[in-house]
């Protein structure tokens, strides 16, 4: 059965213009899965070196399953959204136990695994197993909403249904991998969020937004974003002799299971040095002298902005008692590289090493 004109144009364009990416040169489901998790909310250029290092350290699903979460986090440092790494590891352990170290090719089995939402499940099934499932990400939402002039807000039930129906109506059942990647590639290279390059688009003559709207960038419709809250965070680099105190965040928190230097939010009209002293006492039960600032910088998360203020601090008295953290250690500065820290603390660690304590 011949493809619809839109589908044929997409496949032809993709065959000629697709980027040569490492995960496109493999048919191994494990490698495809790793790339799909890493690519979520992360730019391709940033993912490539992480992808290579990760597969060198964990070349198979069984190797990943037998590794500790700490090992996984260490390789993930700097890639962000650490929940992905935790769920990746959890899924590997389950697949190693329940599915003989293989990624299932049945939709219902995959959806039960951590990290396998609708997109990831569809992507793995179509790209690795060539099954006719859609893989609908932000790029696909944007491309389809413009081609068919879908005027519901992104994320609404109606929007998701219309996009899925349109994709399924045009899906190349004999080559779902190329079709899904073609849509995503078109969104990444041509039908971009702010400046769609309609003059380069292979399907512009089929695009309703291009033919009827003065600016195709009007779609997809998005609700106004709320302004992100901003917090000032004071953090203590607490020294006791030649060792520094680090603590591990709870698994259910933002940046769960990662290590950090303890600290917390500044109160209204509170001095940052006082915040640091108070947080060390409240969270770690330690009395300290806060001596001087080390470094400060702004850091952005998906839902909030913070300015991190790191202070050199000296232990005075107290025995560590954990309230929110799950673990603590006194370690040498040279040993910090053995622990997985949130990216917001990496600059402080680099600065700390320059002091040669």
Q: In the chain, which ranges are E strands?
A: 230-240, 243-248, 259-260, 263-265, 287-300, 305-317, 327-332
270 catalytic residue (yes or no): no
CB atoms near residue 218 (< 10 Å): 12
d(CA 19, CA 10): 14
Candidates 73, 84, 108; CA nearest to 33 is: 84
Candidates 114, 109, 180, 192; CA nearest to 146 is: 192
Handedness of CA 184, 56, 73, 30 (dihedral sign): positive
Decide: 205 and 9 in contact? Cβ < 8 Å. Answer: no
Which of 36, 185, 260, 279 does the annotation list as catalytic? 36
CB atoms near residue 68 (< 10 Å): 9
Rg (CA), the chain: 24
State the catalytic residues.
Answer: 36
């Amino acid at each position: 059965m011949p493809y619809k004109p839109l589908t044929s144009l997409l496949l032809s364009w993709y065959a000629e213009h697709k980027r040569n990416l490492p995960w496109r040169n493999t048919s191994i489901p494990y490698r495809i899965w790793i790339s799909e998790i890493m690519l979520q909310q992360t730019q391709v250029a940033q993912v490539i070196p992480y992808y290579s290092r990760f597969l060198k350290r964990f070349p198979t699903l069984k190797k990943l399953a037998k590794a500790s979460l700490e090992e996984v986090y260490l390789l993930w440092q700097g890639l962000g959204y650490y929940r992905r790494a935790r769920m990746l590891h959890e899924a590997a352990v389950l697949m190693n136990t329940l599915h003989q170290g293989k990624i299932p090719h049945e939709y219902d089995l995959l959806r039960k695994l951590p990290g396998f939402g609708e997109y990831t499940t569809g992507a793995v099934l179509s790209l690795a197993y060539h099954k006719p499932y859609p893989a609908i990400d932000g790029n696909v939402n944007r491309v389809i909403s413009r081609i068919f002039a879908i005027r519901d807000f992104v994320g609404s039930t109606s929007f998701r249904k219309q996009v899925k129906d349109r994709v399924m109506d045009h899906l190349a059942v004999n080559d779902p991998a190329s079709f899904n990647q073609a849509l995503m590639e078109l969104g990444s290279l041509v039908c971009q969020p702010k400046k769609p390059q309609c003059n380069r688009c292979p399907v512009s003559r089929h695009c309703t937004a291009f033919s009827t709207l003065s600016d195709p960038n009007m779609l997809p419709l998005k609700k106004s974003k709320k302004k992100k809250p901003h917090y000032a965070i004071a953090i203590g680099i607490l020294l006791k002799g030649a060792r520094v105190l680090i603590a591990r965040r709870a698994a259910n928190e933002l940046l769960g299971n990662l290590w950090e230097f303890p600290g917390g939010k500044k109160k209204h009209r509170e001095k940052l040095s006082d915040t640091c002293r108070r947080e060390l006492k409240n969270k770690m039960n330690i009395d300290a002298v806060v001596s001087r600032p080390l470094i400060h910088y702004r850091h952005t998360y998906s839902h909030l902005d913070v300015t991190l203020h790191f202070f050199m601090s000296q232990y005075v008295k107290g025995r560590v008692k954990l309230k929110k953290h799950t673990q603590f250690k006194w370690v040498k500065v040279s040993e910090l590289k053995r622990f997985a820290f949130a990216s917001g603390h990496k600059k402080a660690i680099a600065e700390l090493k320059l002091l040669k304590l």
